[in-house]
Structure 1
């Protein structure tokens, strides 16, 4: 398999086959992110993608291992969904041809990539095998979206969710605790909960903001223009999101490596239990209840 640079995937795709179909991220301006700053965005040529498909498919066939291989594929890099529908259909059809054991394909997507596609195009992609889109929303607050140069608006977030739902594609949303800084912490949490309520996705994952050297956010923090909230303030943000979001049925988790307090449940059914845990941790204010810094990661 041909991989260019560092490769990233969502935690839930840990056991998936990773197929790199783009290099880098077409936006690559989010102030907190350094994942693709060492790459210039470009689509991978079909010849290389097909060579990867053929290589693994041939090895699986010759060793009789198809049944042992992962049933899921994740398309890398940062926003493979930005590719044209024609190119994505070619890739999905190639997966079906060369990796016939695969049951679901996933990718990162956002307001730009979903917004450029019609519901009919998204339906075509779903019928060709695209099953889930992971969407780094980060925040539902307009002011914070602008602060972090996310490249989308609150109405576009809501429209993205509606289009994916209409197309029958599973939507997994990512939010970032602390990304509004101290100054915008409360409104970030409340507006994120309100936006999630309007989006009503089936999956939400909360991550915790980490200031990474070399990013614009690190420069902002160094100048004093951004101050990361305290550990317990970010847990209070998590409580606000759990308490104020209204879902019809959402698998909600904060078990990413970056988080200080791993939590998982189905909302609204598990809301009382989740709030009970959060309230106890916040009330005690004891850092021994939190994940140590040495165990946290990106």
Structure 2
């Protein structure tokens, strides 16, 4: 497979075939992220993608196959409709055992496509869009240079739902810093309620050396909340988000307390766990730092 640079995928795509169809991220300005800073964004040529599909097909015929494909890198959905349909058709042709294709998406890539175009992608095999929302706070969105607005977050969710695509949302505990911690948690819960996605994953902010967020922290412009304050953010989001039915998890490697449940029915149990840990304030109840190394 023609993999260029570091390859990333959501935790739930751990057993998927990773098909790199773009290099890097077309936005690549989020202050906390260093995933694609070593790459200049560009689409990969179709000839390279098709060669990878042929290689995966040969492996599949020998029994090495996955029924899921994840399109890398950061925002493959930003590609034009014709190229995306070509890629999905190539997956159907070469990997007929694949049942679902996933990709990262954001307010820009979804915003550029109509509901009809998104539905066309769903009919061609795209099944799930992973969305790093990070926060529902307008102030925090601007501060982290996310490149989208709160109304656009809600519109994105509505469009994906209308197109029949599964929407998996990622939020970042601590990304508002100490100064905007309460606002971040409250407005993230409000935005999630409006969006009502079927999947939400909470990750914990890690300040990575060399990123703009690291520089902001060095200058004293950003202070990461304490471990227990970030758990209070998690509690606020769980308590005040109202979902029709959502699989909510905080079991990413970055998190201090792994939780998983279906909301709203598991809300009381999840809050009980968080309340006990927060009340005790004992770091021995948290995941050790050496297990959080990413």
Shared fold per TM-score greater than 0.5: yes
Cα distance in 1 for partners of 2:265, 2:293 equals 30
Cα distance in 2 for partners of 1:204, 1:168 equals 17
- 1:274 equivalent in alignment to 2:278: no
Q: Which residue of 2 aligns with 1:183?
A: 179
- 1:4-153 residue pairs with structure 2 within 5 A? 4-61=4-61, 63=62, 65=63, 69-153=65-149
Give me the CA root mean square deviation: 0.6
Whether the 8 Å contact between 2:59 and 2:65 is mirrored in structure 1 is no
Cα distance in 2 for partners of 1:101, 1:189 equals 41
* Structure 2: gaps spanning 5 or more residues: none
Encode CA deviations 1:201-255: one digit per residue, 9 max, x unaligned: 0000000000000100000000000000000000000000000000000000000
Encode CA deviations 1:28-81: one digit per residue, 9 max, x unaligned: 0000000000000000000000010012213333x3x2xx51100000000000
Q: Which residue of 1 aligns with 2:151?
A: 155
Q: For residue 144 of structure 1, give the secondary structure of its aligned residue in structure 2.
A: helix
Encode CA deviations 1:127-186: one digit per residue, 9 max, x unaligned: 000000000000000000000000000000000000000000000000000000000000
Cα distance in 1 for partners of 2:142, 2:162 equals 28
Cα distance in 1 for partners of 2:137, 2:265 equals 26
- Structure 1 runs, 4 residues or longer, greater than 2 Å off: 58-61
Q: For residue 233 of structure 2, give the secondary structure of its aligned residue in structure 1.
A: helix
Q: For residue 215 of structure 2, give the secondary structure of its aligned residue in structure 1.
A: helix
TM-score by length of 1: 0.98
Encode CA deviations 1:93-142: one digit per residue, 9 max, x unaligned: 00000011100000000000000000000000000000000000000000
Q: For residue 229 of structure 2, give the secondary structure of its aligned residue in structure 1.
A: helix
Cα distance in 2 for partners of 1:60, 1:37 equals 33
TM-score by length of 2: 0.99
Cα distance in 1 for partners of 2:65, 2:55 equals 14
